Every structure is written in C-alpha cells, then in structure tokens.
C-alpha cells in the first residue's frame, strides 16, 4: 500500500490510486482469500455460499465483493444460478444472495425468478449492486424488477438514476475499503482538485462509482475521502496522519503534487460541516454542501436525531465555522437542500446566516439526499460545472 508520496504516482500510472488503513485492508484481503480458497478446495457452490454469508457481515468490502463476482460471472454461473435459486426458494435468502443470483442469471443468459423473494428484498439486492456495477449493467438488471413490481417507488428511483447518469468511459473502480482515492482527470491541462467528502454511508448521496460518471468529463482531478472510523473526519483520516491537521496537510500535499492551482470541496450530510471547515482551511475556491447535517465533537446527532439534538450540535460547530471563515480566503459557498425538508432547511438557513453563502432550495423536494434530488431536478450537471470552474455563474431560482 503506497503512502501519500506514492499515491500520485500510482494514480498517474494506473488511472487511480488509493490508500486504505493497513489493518482493514489486510482483513478484507483475508475474507476474499477465504472465498477463493474455498472455491479451489470445495468448488464454486461452496464458495458462493461462504461469500453470501461473509458479505452480509462485511457489506462494504470491495475485495470480498470482487471475489464473489468472479464466481457468479465465471464458468459456473449457470450452476450457481440454479443453486442460489434453490436456496432462495427454501429459505427466502438475504439481499446479497438475491444480488448474486441476479448476476449469475445475467451471466448465464436466463431470466431471474423474481417470485422467489419479496419486492423489498429485490430493492435491497439491487441497492447492493449499485455501489460497484457499471451503470449500463445496472440498467439491464433493474428492468425485470421494475416490470414485476411497477408500484415500487424505490425501484423506479434506481431506474431513474441509471437513466439520468451520463455514460462516460472511465477507469475508476470504487474501492470501499479505501479512505482516500485519487482519480486523475482525463484532460492533461486540468488544474482543479475536487475533494469529495462522503457522509455517514460512505457515499455522497450517490455511490462513488455513479457520482464519478458525472465528473469524468470535467477538467478536474477527483479526491474521494471516506472516514471509515465513523467519526466524520473530526480526528482526520488515519492514512493521511494522526488528527485533523494531518488530513488538511495531506490534501494540500496531494494538490501540490498534482500541480493543482485550485481546490474545491464537495460534501454532503454529516460531512457537510467538516467539509466546509476543510475547504476554508485549504483556501478552497468553491464549496458545495448538500444538506449539511450538524454534529458535535465528531459524533453525529444520530440518524434519527431530533431537531433539538442537531441544533445543540450546530451551536457547537458555529464558532469554528466563523473562525475558519475569518482566516480563510473566503470561498464561494453553495448550500443545496430540499425546500420542504424542515430540518435541512433550518440548518441551511442558520449556516447561511453565519457564512456568506448562497442557498439553493430545491422546490417541493423533501428528501435529505439533496444531491440525488438535484440530479432529478436536472441541475446537478450545472452545479458540478460551476464547482469545477467550467461554468462561471450559477443561476439559482428565487422563490
């Protein structure tokens, strides 16, 4: 695993580079090897059973997923499809079992039997695949489920995402064990670094693999960050050093090695406040925060936290935001949220009153996932173009 000094070289040579906590990387590799060893000793069916069990416990593990995908897309695909169908018939099965069954059916050119599990289970199965499947394949996999369950809103949403996502050739493959991933721009003249800070689910409203399709044509390098510790960047990111200052210095060093003239920040949800603070300390040119949710001392108010709990957390954050703004180069800040989401509207208003910034309240949108809502409002491409500097102005509708 390269250190920060080797990250840029790896990215330039291979099309992307990544850093993962060593202990976590070793553990994930061990899980993948268990599946591979089981296949060699006992065959593909025994190995896929092990993969199903392990993936339910270690869902966000690309190395383990890839080991499972190698099985269900290999020569034993048809046999695995039959085997998993039998298991689904007899025991209902998990979402990951249904996901691997779907892939095995696709590989062996057969139609999956969607009567084997509930609509909710197929929703969960397809959501699992969204993290790392090519969008073209996702579109094919979703169609049968949408036809079988036409009234399932979540399936319609997944289908809508595939339909709206740009089709752009890119070498990027998300490595969910990684807390840092660097993807150089396709344009040699790119001088902008987008620091994309994921929220609590390790996503930015969309999985990194889907989101990257929106950035792949932009003249900007992408630096994806995940805080795998669950402390929302309060203590920095382990692979960049101990503590917040080391994280800021590590980002600054990566930007310098990439010969970037400007840094911009993309953040959402629980990464919103630390994203804005990081941007100000990095003298970012522009910051876009989707539905920033406050937290205090590195601890979120909780996924179902009350307005009072979140307000208390925000009151702790505001002095730091104000202090960082006063000593920064004063980036252009855009806060995006759904205008009918009461909590997000409240927090966005307070932050906008504290920091000179603009707010984009997406009309009649209630979801906390404002990045997804911006995509559905057909304004995400404009926001990204403004963030990366390819669009000078951004016209925000006034209510």
| pLDDT per residue as tens digits for the range 352-395 | 888 999 999 999 999 999 999 999 999 999 999 999 999 999 98
Using the structure block, give the residue that is written with the tokens 């998300």.
Answer: 174
Locate 170 and state its tokens. 């890119």
CA distance 77 to 73: 6
Query: CA torsion sign, 99 to 101 to 102 to 108?
Result: positive
The per-type count for the chain, helices as H runs and strands as E runs, is: 16, 10
Min mean pLDDT across 19-33, 291-305, 325-339, 372-386 is at 291-305
E strands, the chain, in order = 17-19, 180-183, 192-197, 220-225, 262-268, 286-290, 295-296, 299-300, 332-338, 358-362
What burial letters (b/e) apply to 331-342, b meaning 16+ CB within 10 Å?
bbbbbbbbbebe
Q: Are 265 and 220 in contact (CB under 8 A)?
A: no
Locate 259 and state its tokens. 């010969």
Domain 180-388: CATH superfamily is Alpha/Beta hydrolase fold, catalytic domain (3.40.50.1820)
Whether 219 shows a pLDDT value over 70: the answer reads yes
Supply the DSSP string of 62-81, one letter for each residue: HHHHHHHHHHHTSTTHHHHH
Structure confidence at residue 298 (pLDDT): 47
Whether 25 shows a pLDDT value over 80: the answer reads yes
Rounded to a whole number of angstroms, the distance between the first and last alpha carbons of the chain is 50
Q: Are 139 and 163 in contact (CB under 8 A)?
A: yes
Q: Vertex 196, ends 162 and 283: CA angle to 5°?
A: 145
**More reliable by pLDDT, 303 or 375:** 375
Structure confidence at residue 305 (pLDDT): 64
Whether 98 shows a pLDDT value over 90: the answer reads yes
Q: Are 272 and 292 in contact (CB under 8 A)?
A: yes
Q: How many CA atoms lie within 13 A of 200 on its CB side?
A: 17
Whether 307 shows a pLDDT value over 90: the answer reads no
pLDDT, average across residues 67-78? 96
Q: Are 12 and 188 in contact (CB under 8 A)?
A: no
CA distance 168 to 226: 24
**More reliable by pLDDT, 305 or 275:** 275
Structure confidence at residue 296 (pLDDT): 54
Structure confidence at residue 383 (pLDDT): 97
Residue 341 — very low, low, confident or very high, per pLDDT cuts 50/70/90? very high
* Domain spans in the chain, listed from the N-terminal domain onward: 19-164, 180-388
pLDDT, average across residues 186-195? 92
**More reliable by pLDDT, 246 or 91:** 246
Whether 306 shows a pLDDT value over 80: the answer reads no
Whether 283 shows a pLDDT value over 80: the answer reads yes
C-alpha 287: how far from chain center: 18
**More reliable by pLDDT, 67 or 354:** 67
Min mean pLDDT across 96-110, 288-302, 382-396 is at 288-302
Any alpha helices (H) in 327-391, and if so which ranges? 342-354, 370-376, 380-388
3-class secondary structure, 301: coil
Structure confidence at residue 399 (pLDDT): 56
pLDDT, average across residues 328-348? 93
CA distance 189 to 356: 31
| Rg value, the chain, Cα | 21
Locate 152 and state its tokens. 């399932």
Mean pLDDT of the chain, nearest integer: 92
Residue 232 — very low, low, confident or very high, per pLDDT cuts 50/70/90? confident
Min mean pLDDT across 55-59, 148-152, 243-247, 259-263 is at 55-59
- In 3D space, the residue among 292, 279, 383 whose CA is nearest the CA of residue 330 turns out to be 279
Q: What percent of the chain has pLDDT over 90?
A: 78
Q: What percent of the chain has pLDDT over 70?
A: 96
């Amino acid at each position: 695993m390269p250190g920060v000094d080797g990250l840029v070289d790896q990215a330039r040579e291979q099309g992307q580079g990544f850093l993962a906590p060593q202990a976590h990387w070793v553990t994930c590799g061990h899980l993948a090897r268990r599946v591979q060893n089981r296949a060699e000793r006992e065959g593909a069916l025994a190995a896929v059973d092990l993969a199903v069990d392990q993936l339910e416990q270690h869902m966000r593990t690309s190395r383990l997923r890839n080991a499972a995908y190698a099985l269900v897309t290999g020569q034993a695909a048809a046999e695995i499809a039959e085997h998993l169908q039998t298991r689904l018939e007899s025991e209902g099965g998990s979402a990951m079992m249904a996901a691997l069954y779907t892939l095995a059916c696709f590989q062996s050119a057969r139609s999956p039997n969607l009567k084997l599990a509930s609509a909710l289970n197929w929703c969960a199965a397809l959501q699992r695949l969204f993290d790392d499947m090519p969008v073209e394949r996702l579109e094919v996999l979703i169609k049968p489920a949408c036809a079988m369950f036409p009234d399932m809103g979540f399936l319609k949403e997944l289908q809508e995402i595939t339909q709206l996502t740009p089709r752009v050739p890119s070498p990027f493959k998300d490595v969910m064990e990684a807390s840092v991933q660097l993807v150089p721009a396709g344009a040699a003249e790119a001088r902008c670094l987008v620091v994309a800070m994921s929220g609590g689910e390790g996503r930015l409203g969309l999985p990194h693999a889907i989101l990257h399709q929106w950035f792949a044509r932009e003249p900007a390098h992408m630096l994806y960050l995940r805080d795998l510790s669950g402390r929302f960047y309060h203590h920095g990111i382990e692979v960049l050093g101990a503590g917040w200052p080391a994280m800021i210095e590590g980002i600054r060093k990566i930007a310098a090695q990439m010969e970037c003239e400007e840094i911009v920040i993309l953040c959402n949800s629980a990464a919103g406040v630390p994203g804005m603070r990081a941007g100000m300390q990095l003298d970012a040119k522009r910051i876009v925060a989707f539905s920033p949710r406050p937290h205090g001392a590195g601890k979120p108010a909780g996924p179902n936290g009350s307005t009072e709990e979140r307000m208390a957390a925000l009151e702790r954050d505001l002095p730091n935001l104000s202090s960082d703004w006063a000593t920064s180069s004063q980036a252009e800040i855009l806060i995006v949220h759904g205008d009918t989401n009461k909590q997000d509207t409240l927090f966005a208003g307070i932050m906008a009153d504290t920091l000179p910034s603009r707010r984009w309240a997406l009309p009649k949108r209630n979801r906390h996932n404002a990045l997804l809502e911006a995509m559905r409002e057909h304004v995400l491409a404009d926001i990204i173009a403004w963030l990366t500097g390819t669009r000078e102005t951004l016209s925000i509708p006034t209510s």
